[in-house]
Amino acid sequence: MSLPNKWRLNGPLAQNVVMGVVLFCLPGIYLALTGLGAGGGGPSALQVAIETNAILYGLFAVFGWVGGVILNIVKPRVAVIVGGVGYPLYVGRTVLGFTASCLWTAAGYIAWTYPEEKDKGKFIALQWGMTSLGGTVGGAIAFGVSVNRTAVTGVSSGVYIAFIAIMCFAMVVAGLLLKHPAEILRDDGTHLAEFKPTNMHREFKNFVTIIFDWKILVLTPAFFAAEMCLSIVSSLNSYYFNLRTRSLNNMLFQFIMIVASVCLSLLLDFDKLSRRKRGIIGIGIVSVITIGACSGLIGWMTVYGLDGRLPEPPAVDWTDPRFAGGVCLYLLWGIVFSTYLVGASWVVASLSNDPVKVAFYSGFTKGTASLGLCICFIMDSQQVTYMRQAIAMFVIYTVGSVSLLYVIIYHMKDSDYFLEEDVVVPVHVLQEKGKVVESIDDVERVEEVEGANDRKNSS
């Protein structure tokens, strides 16, 4: 009954790796450009980049909220291909606002639905690590071409051409290698769930039901906060450092996100502790680091007179004594950005294994994160001081951290298996309950009995 080859194309791990490659080539490279500030341009392009980013993430928020409806109709392959179209059209931010919502909803769906409960942290971190690796490579390319430039300028057109070629390659990978969810088989030979025929009317009814799920509403502040630091830290990187220094900073920022997300995932999947205890420890650590980073940012800006905006950008080089403090703080925010997103995603992924429900969770949370980032870019475009932005971020991150811990402490179960009718339970979970399982038919028979009993007890 077992399928020992973990790397077969229709296996959960292989599909997550394929999705990771796509993220490497698309948002990974995009993050490299964003991290350079002004989309890689000079200070004169900064205001335009801020305003267009506000439009992009505003559209992302709107389409992200209904991303689950789209995904459940067209499935991941089509959603990812459509999602990839907007990235090579970097200047066409309105297009990217729609397409990116399709891509990220599908990515969350794969990372949260395909793994067993014991592996969700690793699947989430693998995707985020691949995204950050794309950003690291993109940052290294930009750094290589700008290493001898000390003036405050933008990157060359050759860098953009290389990035666009990588992005186009990702859509080919998605079209050839991503499978329909119903074709995915775990290593024990079981499917993920029973996939029933659907239509737009049914999906919108599901959407209305799920967006009023009170646990998701409680977690809204956490996802509103999840990406908002990207606005201020990328803006400060562009404003405070010259090109070659911010290129170096960005490469290091992307790299440290890989390390941080992997470390957190190992804790969140540490099976010697209950899921609730893992969540409390992991999210507690992330919350302390996040609040400390907010405090450090406010203190650093106060010391260097950045609580307002200086008449001329400082254009700090890595040879400048001011470089050390700025880069350390910038890298700390790399840790915050990755671990907060991985941690918050793990919490939501731990609320359900039902593919239909998870699709809506993924779209709604990605859309809400984009709304938070959109508002930050709007504040930046209106010349709100960096200090006021940092204080607002401090408050929202604190509320978001409290909401994550509340859901973990009071409402997270050690397992959701047997509680959702359409989800197929892994064989080893059935065997741990003392059930004899010799064939796939036995899985279905035992599931039916155990599921009915567990759902009755939980109601």
Interval 193-239: pLDDT, tens: 999 898 899 999 888 888 888 899 999 999 999 998 888 888 888 88
CATH code of the domain covering residue 335: 1.20.1250.20
The phi and psi torsions of 236 (rounded to 5 degrees) equal -65, -40
Q: How far is CA 412 from CA 117, 157, 357, 407, in A?
A: 12, 49, 16, 6
Mean pLDDT along residues 129-155? 72
Domain count within the chain:
2
Domain hosting 131: range is 12-424
Distance of alpha carbon 245 from alpha carbon 260, whole angstroms: 22
Identify whether residues 322 and 444 lie together within a single domain: no
Structure tokens given for 89: 């059209």
Identify whether residues 110 and 222 lie together within a single domain: yes
Q: Are 119 and 15 in contact (CB under 8 A)?
A: no
pTM of the model: 0.89
Please tell me the predicted confidence (pLDDT) of residue 37: 47
Pick 104 or 138 by higher pLDDT.
Answer: 104
Identify whether residues 442 and 340 lie together within a single domain: no
Identify whether residues 34 and 161 lie together within a single domain: yes
User: Measured at the alpha carbon of residue 261, what is the angle toward residues 257 and 263, in degrees to the nearest 5?
Assistant: 120
Mean pLDDT along residues 27-34? 74
Mean pLDDT in the chain? 86
Identify whether residues 343 and 441 lie together within a single domain: no
For residue 32, what pLDDT band results from cuts at 50, 70 and 90? low
The reply to whether 4 falls in a domain is no
Choice among 112-121, 179-188, 270-279, 302-311 with the minimum mean pLDDT: 302-311
The reply to whether 326 falls in a domain is yes
Please tell me the predicted confidence (pLDDT) of residue 342: 96
Identify whether residues 272 and 182 lie together within a single domain: yes
The reply to whether 3 falls in a domain is no
The pLDDT > 90 percentage for the chain reads 54
- pLDDT greater than 60 at residue 260: yes
The three-class DSSP label of residue 423 is: strand
- pLDDT greater than 80 at residue 311: no
Identify whether residues 213 and 339 lie together within a single domain: yes
Identify whether residues 304 and 450 lie together within a single domain: no
- pLDDT greater than 50 at residue 366: yes
Identify whether residues 102 and 230 lie together within a single domain: yes
Instruction: Identify the CA nearest to 396 among candidates 257, 223, 261.
Output: 223
The reply to whether 2 falls in a domain is no
The reply to whether 410 falls in a domain is yes
Mean pLDDT along residues 59-65? 93
399: left (phi over 0), alpha (psi -120 to 50) or beta: alpha
Identify whether residues 325 and 356 lie together within a single domain: yes
Please tell me the predicted confidence (pLDDT) of residue 1: 47
Pick 222 or 448 by higher pLDDT.
Answer: 222
Identify whether residues 354 and 447 lie together within a single domain: no
The reply to whether 5 falls in a domain is no
The reply to whether 6 falls in a domain is no
Distance of alpha carbon 270 from alpha carbon 264, whole angstroms: 10
Structure tokens given for 16: 């997550």
The pLDDT > 70 percentage for the chain reads 84
Q: Are 96 and 166 in contact (CB under 8 A)?
A: no
Identify whether residues 349 and 435 lie together within a single domain: no
